[in-house]
A and B are shown apart, each in its own frame.
Chain A
């Protein structure tokens, strides 16, 4: 037994030193490589979305694997870490990225983990760019955090406006217990919808729940006009399925997370109306669309991570943009040092992106004033553009 302990301890020591030396060597000899940290969930509740967002970043890296900073050509390497959609794992995951010597961090899908990691990035002076974390708290008190997407208050208002303008007077709002994203968006929606004179029924479902029968029945029982449920895509597919089974008879409205091929896949061939607001309109940039589709077609792992087909999710496009924003920031800074990049970010004006140009306001949020409203075509299983909607 003692031998075993000895063995374990030596093994541990050896591994520690190996990993430490290995890591140390990398960061020390930066050389011609620059690292971009990808802080995304690959497991847990938001694993699916996180993977799709990572795909965009990976594709962007494939398209543009080098960057010229201060007259010198650097290879860009991605350091991807899984934050497991879990606040308690996010801190070590974030620290792991910082320790690997990355110059800037992208992510995460899901606001809670981003908020959790914000302090680590702040301590390290590490610039971070939120891709699709829409909770205002992410950037609110963290000077290191920027983001390229719109915010929940904005999105909630947009959704409420859309619902009200289309004659929906009573909304059924369903969020996931313990999930600050869906709860936050529901809160802003309710605020805006009530402000317009609407009526609201609000409920939550516990995590790990896959039986949405009663929630759909509750919406019917309350004679609602719209089913607002901006939850994760896992739950979304189940909700759509139940809505079909019970002939829900009202449109389902959701936020950016639902702009995913999981949803179109679930809604295809069903008599359920799904409407979402999103960052990106497929077809807006044909070159990007065909390029990434071809890439996924030739990369089986990427295709699997995208859910088995090559239909685009908005978060993938956003991930793609985030990568280029990061490159722009480095170019503007003329340095690979996180502190310099951080200094360059507020003044950045990134153009040529697929989801529109990005400039940051004083909080670090992107100046975006419109969202795209899309509707799922039940026959083709593709998104159809409805309109651009603003918060006014």
Chain B
């Protein structure tokens, strides 16, 4: 009892932030699964979704803002893919990664320009920020909503991937890019759909995340983005359930580490975990073997 009482706040916080990482991580893992690209700009799409919400809510009703934010994220993500990644698809891997880093640099600097470097306060969305008490812990409503919503969304996504035609095409493309295109699968469409799903989830993630941590500045996307990527690697890149499990593990572990008092290394821990997993089991928890043809 004492144990639970002491650690409940940390676990709750960890589960909540884990769910938010999970929603971002799905975007990473799906894009990586198909394009073999670490989409460095994904964290910044997440940040921009939050920023747009700040501006939209001042002029539009809540429900419309939420819808528009999701649409905005989708448009931004697919535009990035079309402009910055598609022309380089046949270029060396390094070029696409550099392009991704460049896009991330651009999005951050543009946000800096728009906000003037000032932290924007995220609006209160419905009852998400209301305070609730559970046992010894007091927390925000969003903390409880996040894991539930995350799991529902992931379930829907897994269903989509398993049972629809586009889902099958996605699986095929992530297995073998070239063969799939020879088989007549419209690769561009599959990639676009992947970005649409990833960005929509990131937008939802941004609503939850920023309702919990209500300040947005240009670098707000960078750290959650990196952590979500680590979560995706941890769970096995390309695997949606893996990314979700990874995200929850990282979220909870990070908060427990802060709870023990090793606060200096709470971020570093994420990277330590990444390196350990890459050394010990490069394919992650649920990942499949990555095969190169000689």
Is B282 an interface residue, CB under 8 A from the partner?
no
A42 to B213, CA, bound (A): 23
Contact A211 B213, beta carbon cutoff 8 Å: yes
B290 part of interface (Cβ distance < 8 Å): no
Q: Which residues of B contact A246 (CB under 8 A)?
A: 9, 137-139
Q: Which of B1-27 contact A (CB under 8 A)?
A: 6, 9-10, 13, 17
Among B151-159, B188-196, B217-225, B237-245, the one that faces the other chain is B217-225
Instruction: Find out whether the CB atom of A206 lies under 8 angstroms from the CB atom of B138.
Output: no
* B90 close to A (CB within 8 Å): no
Question: Which chain B positions have C-beta within 8 A of A210?
Answer: 213, 215, 220, 223
Supposing A43-B117, A246-B139 touch, asked if A218 and B261 sit within 8 A by C-beta, the answer is yes
Q: Do A262 and B222 contact each other (CB < 8 Å), given the known contacts A238-B215, A247-B138?
A: no
Interface size on B, residues (CB 8 A): 36
CA distance A41 to B116 in the complex (A): 11
CB within 8 Å for A237 and B119 given contacts A214-B255, A217-B10, A246-B137: yes
Give the shortest distance, in Å, between B200 (CB) and chain A (any CB).
Answer: 22
- Contact string, A24-44, partner B, CB cutoff 8 A, digits 1/0? 000000000000000001111
> Complex Cα distance A235/B121, Å?
12
Q: Which of B69-77, B95-103, B168-176, B262-270 contacts A (4 or more CB under 8 A)?
A: B262-270
Given contacts A203-B263, A237-B214, A241-B214, contact A214 B258 (CB under 8 A): yes
Q: Which residues of B contact A241 (CB under 8 A)?
A: 213-215
Q: Please give the distance in Å from A53's CB to the nearest CB on chain B.
A: 13
Would you call A203 and B116 a contact (CB within 8 A)? Answer: no
From known contacts A43-B117, A208-B223, A246-B9, infer whether A215 and B263 are also in contact, taking CB-CB under 8 Å.
yes
Residues of chain A with a CB closer than 8 A to B222's CB? 208
CB-based contact A218/B264 at 8 Å: no
Contact with B along A260-289 (1 / 0, CB 8 A): 001001100000000000000000000000
- The answer, yes or no, to whether B118 is at the interface (CB within 8 Å) is yes
- What's the A-B contact tally at a CB cutoff of 8 Å? 108
A238 CB contact (under 8 Å) in B214, B223, B264: B214
Question: Contact between B116 and A304 (Cβ–Cβ < 8 Å)?
Answer: yes
Nearest CB to that of B256 among chain A residues? A214
Q: Which of A44, A203, A247 contacts B261 (CB 8 A)?
A: A203
> What per-residue 1/0 map shows which CB atoms of B104-145 lie under 8 Å from chain A?
000000001000111101000000010100000111100000
Q: Could you give, for residues 251-294 of chain B, a 1 whenever the CB lies within 8 Å of some chain A CB and a 0 otherwise?
A: 00011001101011011100000000000000000000000000
Q: Do A266 and B121 form a contact, CB below 8 Å, given A208-B223, A211-B13, A246-B9?
A: yes
Q: With CB as the reference atom, state the residue of chain A lying closest to B12.
A: A213
CB proximity of A258 to chain B, nearest CB, Å: 14
- Cβ–Cβ contact B258 & A245, under 8 A: no
Chain B positions within 8 Å of A217 at CB level: 9-10, 13, 137, 259
- Which partner residue on chain B sits nearest A234 by CB separation? B119
Q: Determine the residue in chain B with the shortest Cβ distance to A304.
A: B116
The reply to whether B9 and A42 form a contact with Cβ atoms under 8 Å apart is no
- On whether A237 and B215 interact (CB within 8 A), knowing A177-B264, A213-B255, the answer reads yes
Q: Which of A206, A266, A305 contacts B116 (CB 8 A)?
A: A305
The winner among B139, B215, B255 for most chain A CB atoms within 10 A is: B215
Q: Which residues of B contact A41 (CB under 8 A)?
A: 117
Query: Is A337's beta carbon under 8 Å from chain B?
Result: no
Q: Does any Cβ of B come within 8 Å of A155's Cβ?
A: no
Given A214-B258, A245-B138, A265-B121, also A234-B215 (CB < 8 A): yes
Can you pick out 9 interface pairs between chain A and chain B where the beta carbons lie within 8 Å of each other? A47-B112, A51-B117, A177-B264, A208-B219, A212-B213, A214-B255, A238-B213, A238-B215, A262-B119
> Using a CB–CB distance below 8 Å, which chain B residues touch chain A?
6, 9-10, 13, 17, 112, 116-119, 121, 129, 131, 137-140, 212-215, 217, 219-220, 222-223, 254-255, 258-259, 261, 263-264, 266-268
